[in-house]
Amino acid sequence: MPPSTNKELLVGIMVGTTGISLLLLWYRKIRKPKTAMNVPTFLSLGNTVDSMTWQDEVHHGQGAAAIFQARQIQILEKLNELLTNVEELKSEIRVLKEAIPKLEEYIHGELGGKTPAHKISPQHRARKRRLATVQSSGTSNSSEEAESEGGYITANTDTEEQSFPVPVALNTHIEELKLDALLQKVDNLRTNESSKMESFELLCDYKEKFRDEIEFIWRFARAYGDMYELSTNTQEKKYYANIGKTLGEKAITRAPMNGHCHLWYAVLCGCVSEFEGLQNKINYGYRFKEHLDKAIQILPEEPFLYYLKGRWCYTVSKLSWIEKKMAATLFGKIPSSTVQEALQNFLKVEELHPGFSKSNYMFLAKCYMDHQQTDSAMKFCHLAMLLPCVTKEDKEAQKEVKKISTFLKR
């Protein structure tokens, strides 16, 4: 409501109440003696104006008009205060509306690569020390240059050096590689858990040269997922997840028919969801499933995809009624799956790649335990125990397998 409208409203109220006052005075003069006129009491305005009757005021003779006018002033003051509060509220709403687009820009900048100094990873600082040897070959720009495009971070400053413990540099000698040779070397390094960081750093060194190559982009997103798994620091894990997801988005946009792009985008959506609230977790869950299904259509012989889908099915089958209801309320549909669907996916993994992982055997044991097939559950517990513990996931699966075995032997 504009200020001019407020003034017109107040003037109207004053004129109206003055007219009522004159009408009451005229009526008091012509009314019969001892005739009482009962008027409904006023409703309290902020507990300031008390209830009263017109009859009591009339009996006060000449003082009635003065009392009534005083009441008018009180009411007008309250109305003015109310209108002022409404204007202040409208002003605050206007400020909030103006702030929302800026907030969106800030979040986009955070996820798009305009990352504050304290979020730069220690691996980038290690790479900074090694870039002196790389710059001569033209594979990278200056490490002091702050640049962001599609999640590629190159900013390194003295402030960042103090943010995290400085790791030991792994690749002390960088050779000039062509794309095919680079990708093969990266894939070979990644087969060894202890070399995943080296694989990530190698990709960092070549990101300026091959940043537009789709085979490079999805591997770089995958490497950020590896660093997420290797890191034990919450802020670092969040950093790796967000940058990796941004790279995954770039990959699926440029190559919508590449199954690896959908696979690693789905994985990184799952990583990001760990730091989100309930609504975003559910949203990322749907996104994870959507891109996982696309990846399976394109890469039907990839066992890792069926392992991930099996885990999704198993998790959804264990959702409580209230959790499913929340999902339906937020998104209009209820995620549904069964332990049997999960079992079929885990068996598909074993069919495509026998002994794929300790975790796959562990989930097979869980599914059979839920179906009360003790012998089959014990069989996969035994197979899981035979596989070595290499990754963090293997160690967690080992603990869970021991618990299942103990339970089944009771």
Please state the length of the chain.
Answer: 410
Residues 49, 75 contacting (CB under 8 angstroms)? yes
Token readout for 333 is: 């549909």
For helices 196-205 and 179-190, give the axis angle rounded to 10 degrees.
160
How far apart CA 197 and CA 203 sit, in angstroms, is 10
Identify residue 361 by its one-letter amino acid code. Y
How far apart CA 350 and CA 20 sit, in angstroms, is 90
Residue with tokens 């989930």: 363
Residues 215, 178 contacting (CB under 8 angstroms)? no
C-alpha 248, offset from chain centre: 16
How far apart CA 335 and CA 282 sit, in angstroms, is 9
pLDDT at 71: 72
pLDDT at 392: 86
Q: Provide DSSP, 292-351.
A: HHHHHHH-TT-HHHHHHHHHHHHHHHT--HHHHHHHHHHHSS-----HHHHHHHHHHHHH
CA distances from 99 to 1, 103, 105, 106, 207 (A): 22, 6, 10, 10, 35
Residues 173, 165 contacting (CB under 8 angstroms)? no
How far apart CA 244 and CA 200 sit, in angstroms, is 12
pTM: 0.60
Residue with tokens 């080992």: 398
Closest to 364 measured CA to CA, from 310, 402, 315, 323: 310
Closest to 397 measured CA to CA, from 361, 350, 354, 368: 361
With b for 16 or more beta-carbon neighbours within 10 A and e for fewer, the 215-253 pattern comes to: bbbbbbbbbbbbbbebbeeeebbbbbbbbbbbbbbbbbe
Identify residue 301 by its one-letter amino acid code. E
Token readout for 213 is: 């190559």
- β-bridge mates for residue 152, sequence order: 149
Residue with tokens 């004159």: 22
Identify residue 278 by its one-letter amino acid code. L
Question: Side-chain half-sphere of 154: how many Cα atoms within 13 Å?
Answer: 18
How far apart CA 83 and CA 13 sit, in angstroms, is 13
What is the maximum alpha-carbon separation in the chain? Answer: 114
Q: How do the pLDDT tens digits run along the chain, 410 residues long?
A: 555 545 454 445 554 555 545 444 444 444 444 333 333 333 333 333 344 444 444 455 556 666 766 676 677 667 667 777 777 777 677 766 666 666 666 555 555 544 443 344 444 444 444 443 333 333 333 333 333 434 444 333 333 333 433 344 444 445 678 999 999 999 999 988 889 999 999 999 999 999 999 999 999 999 999 999 999 999 999 999 999 999 999 999 999 999 999 999 999 999 999 998 877 888 898 899 999 999 999 999 999 999 999 999 999 999 888 877 777 776 677 778 999 999 999 999 999 999 999 999 999 999 999 999 999 999 999 999 999 998 889 999 999 999 999 999 88
C-alpha 389, offset from chain centre: 32
